[in-house]
Copies of this chain bind each other. A is one copy, B any other.
Amino acid sequence: MKDIKFPETAVIREVCPRDGFQNVKKFIPTEDKVKFIDELASTGVSIMEVTSFVSPKAIPQLADAAEVMAEFNKKWNGKVESVALVPNLRGAENALKAEPDWLNFVFSASEAHNMANTRRTVEQSLEELKKVEEIRGNTKLCVSIATAFECPFDGAVEPEKVLKVLEAVFETGADGVTLADTIGTADPSEVDRTLSKVRDIYSDYPFFLHLHDTHGMALVNMMAAMRLGFNSFDSATGGLGGCPFAPGAAGNAATEDVVNFLERIGVKTGIDLLKTVKIAREMETYGLKIMSHLASSSIGREEKETCSQG
């Protein structure tokens, strides 16, 4: 594809410990979580969403957020950037005590989804963001805009809606912004439609994209985004996670599938593919339901390379 200029490198933000684990019903003991997180941190990944500071009543799985973050800081501080998701001011206050590198404040571009998820209007979430901005001090702030392409209630989300939200976010201030296909039903033409307009205004801004594979389109959407120069993506080892509106469906784009795809088309990720496949398989053995092409295939690159040499 010589006529497409893909980015030379990509940044992968590993979100398995947050977006993956939060969807696992049975509580994963903290020491097991920490063990997986340590393994993930050793793959060469540069940034990881480690946990979420959310009400333990809402997501009991992440009730150990402070402890998990403390363990992470002890071992990986200065090596892998840590991200703590926060849904509101209270979460931000709790997160700051645990000293992550990043707060990741999340709300939705579509009113219906934001109300269902945060019980706030978009306007109210933007007000909450201002309060988070006021207290965050030197901690970096990422703002994640959920349902940036499709909403399970409102349908397709107009690019103009996203641009309006972005304007307000940048007015408040942010060190990073994520655009999320929360339910994983966006298609490449929608992704192109919105991201082209975003690119027209914020030409070089390093947006993150959070893509789910619910309808199998995570990689085609990634390809559509890369054509426009976007090169920072969330993914979860093992493809853990998923959309609460789609039980049983595929979850986050699997880190190993993403890394394989990117490296194969010449985009460097710095992540050890074989190690990632191995961790995904360990998660499966541990009892977690993985959704991974590479890890489920006996011709993962390792075997294939052996095979082609033999």
Contact = CB atoms under 8 A, between A and B. Distances in A.
Interface of A: 1, 151-155, 183, 185, 187-190, 192, 213-217, 219-220, 223-224, 227, 243, 245-250, 254, 257, 260-261, 264-266, 293-294, 296-299, 304, 307-308, 310
Contacts of A294: 215-216
B264 A152 contact: no
Nearest to A219: B220
Given A155-B308, A308-B153, A217 B261 contact: yes
Contact of A264 (B187, B261, B304): B187
Contact of A308 (B154, B187, B261): B154
A214 B297 contact: yes
A214 B298 CA distance: 9
Contact of A152 (B213, B243, B304): B304
User: So how many copies of this chain end up in the complex?
Assistant: 2
Contacts of A187: 261, 264-265
Contact of A215 (B192, B224, B250, B293): B293
A227 B223 CA distance: 13
Contact of A248 (B215, B219, B265, B298): B298
A1 B224 contact: yes
B265 A188 contact: yes
